[in-house]
Amino acid sequence: MTRVVALTEAPSWFAYNTDLPQLPLREVTPEAVSRYQVAVLCPEKFSPKPIEIIGWKRAGLLPDTRLCFGSFKGLFYWSREREQYVDQWMVHCRSEIERCQSTHMTFIPLSYPNVRGKGEGQYIFCGGRAQRDYMLAAQSVVNTGMKALFVCDVLPQIDFPNIECRYERVPGPEYCRMIANAWCVLVPSTPGLQSHGHSDVVRALVAGRPVIVTKGASCDDYITDGVNGYLVAYDVDEWTRAILRAWEQRKALTEGAIASIPHYEVRRFNEAIHRMVEGILAARQGRIRASV
């Protein structure tokens, strides 16, 4: 049997960035998957195919193939019943492991290709769609009197003279440039264990931009408080003080964000995926030896 294959969709982040051999997720058959010791499922969005593949495993059609998810979208498929057929589910925050009370989850930090910036725009950036409290962020910015750029197609109406709003979903490269040109990035996530906000946090860090994010809102794994940003209580006054403090400490925080970049390089992500696969293979060999 061949060791490992990634079942990917194109175009997708994983298809462009993985160094594993790939097969098209939508076209695979039980015969194709059964040729591999480990199949890494990497759905880009919800589709019935991963559920079908788990069904093949349940039905005994993949007796010697281990399954794992190498895309965070795997959480859309996770259930207690399906967990027994999938060796590892990759997650981008440890709080998801706590939320699901799972022993089959591996924390691998999210990664993005580097888009460096210098904060030349002299504005605060705030964007993203998932579970954001834009009014908390807006009121905090207003309290400081600083300039800000808010970008989101589901952004609530915000009428403050120092906040420019773009009520649209901009293309990814342009969005990353906006982050890279900000001196600081806000991620006002609502508290909770379910992961949200990681994309903006990591996009900012790989651009060398410090981040202010809600404490206890699933991004605590990425920000070291006072080093590359701040973890802040879900409170307008606390956010206001954090923004003012970040401006005073912007040079040190920027240096901390730049020092964070190697942790979120695509190379590191691939190394982590390989470690997860090697762990699955080692456990498989251990079970084989134990049964002999």
Q: What is the pLDDT of residues 13-69, one digit of tens each?
A: 888 889 999 999 999 999 999 999 999 999 988 889 999 999 999 999 999 999 999
Q: What pLDDT does residue 146 have?
A: 97
**Which pTM value belongs to this model?**
0.90
Q: How far is CA 147 from CA 65, 75, 174, 184, 236, in A?
A: 54, 37, 19, 11, 17
- Between CA 260 and CA 182 the distance in angstroms is 17
**Among candidate residues 259, 269, 216, 260, the one with its CA nearest the CA of residue 108:** 269
Share of the chain above pLDDT 70, in %: 97
pLDDT of residue 2: 85
d(CA 210, CA 199): 14
- Average of per-residue pLDDT across 146-163: 96
Which helix (H) or strand (E) element contains residue 125? strand 124-127
Query: Which stretch of 15-29, 85-99, 112-126, 271-285 has the lowest confidence by average pLDDT?
Result: 112-126
The predicted model gives 103-129 an average pLDDT of 89
240-248 LR contacts (CB < 8 Å, sep 24+):
240/139, 240/140, 240/143, 240/144, 242/140, 242/212, 243/124, 243/140, 243/141, 243/144, 243/146, 243/184, 243/186, 243/212, 244/144, 246/184, 246/210, 246/212, 247/144, 247/146, 247/183, 247/184
Please report the pLDDT score of residue 288 as a whole number: 54
Cα separation, 17 vs 14, whole angstroms:
5
- Distance (Å, rounded) from C-alpha 125 to C-alpha 119? 10
Q: Which residues pair with 89 in a beta bridge?
A: 69, 105
Task: Count the residues in the chain.
Answer: 292
- Asked which of 12-16, 80-84, 278-282 is least confident by mean pLDDT, the reply is 12-16
The predicted structure's pLDDT at residue 286: 64
Q: With contact defined as beta carbons under 8 Å apart, do 261 and 208 qualify?
A: yes
How far is the C-alpha of 181 from the C-alpha of 207, rounded, in Å?
A: 9
What pLDDT is attached to residue 212?
A: 98
In angstroms, the CA 233 to CA 252 distance is 22
Q: How confident is the model at residue 70 (pLDDT cuts 50, 70, 90)?
A: very high
- Convert the pLDDT of each residue in 200-255 to its tens digit: 999 999 999 999 999 999 999 999 999 999 999 999 999 999 999 999 999 999 99
User: Is the confidence at residue 292, as pLDDT, over 70?
Assistant: no
- The whole-chain average pLDDT of the chain stands at 93
Please check the confidence at residue 109 and state whether its pLDDT lies above 90.
yes
Cβ 158 vs Cβ 150: under 8 Å: yes
- Collapsing DSSP states into helix, strand and coil, what is residue 179? helix
Average pLDDT value for residue range 76-87: 95
